[in-house]
Structure 1
Amino acid sequence: MRSVIQGYPIVITYPKEGAGYGITCAAMVKGGPADEVEAAQKFIDWLISENAMKIATSEFNQYSLNKNVESDPKMVTFDQINKIKYDFKWSSENKAAICERFEAEVRSSSDAK
């Protein structure tokens, strides 16, 4: 995305079948060390601050979570991307089988070496 923003003649496309995506989060651990609660809260407050969102949007091309900071207008909005219909519950319940299949079909493939 940075190259597009800088004006290079690049077009970013997404598969019509659906694109994968990642979700990043931050949380405080319930029952965590009492002497770290204040620092943890300050860190989370900073993560969603205008300053942090400006860094996230300008340096990492992430969507802003802060309503006072706009994502780059050249970025496709998250709603405009056809996303894979991912069943988090099913994949969690079937993790062992998925990993086993990956090992058998992908990782052990001679093409992957």
Structure 2
Amino acid sequence: MQFMMLIHHDDELLAAAPPSLWNEYAAFNQALAKAGGTSGLRLEHASKGRAVTQRNGKTELFDGPYMESKEQFAGYFMMDLPDVEQAVQWAARCPSAQYGTVEVRPIWPTRPQ
């Protein structure tokens, strides 16, 4: 079963993180790769983003993050694991769990061709 780990950082906590965080991430990425997971991509700061909605034929554009919250979507990882319990264990190992929230979501299964 495929899972996505969605990383949501608290910008203030992340800014105060020790430089060793990136070494922790290197070790995490290495362990994840050995287990068959794949690294996703790290996103730029939420303030550099734009959010677009279409309502009643009108386009609305917002600068920065879509939601007003302390945590912002920062990146993701992909994993192929037998069950959600193992995905949760990986999320708990993720260094970002110390600086925000790591959400685990199953990937919607595709229909057989």
Q: Could you say which TM-score interval applies, normalised by the shorter chain? A: under 0.3
User: Could you say which structure has the higher strand fraction?
Assistant: 2
Structure ID, larger Rg = 1
TM-score, scaled relative to structure 2: 0.25
Higher-helix-fraction structure: 1
TM-score normalised by L of structure 1: 0.25
Flag the structure with more relative contact order, 1 or 2, with Cα contacts below 8 A and sequence separation at least 6.
2
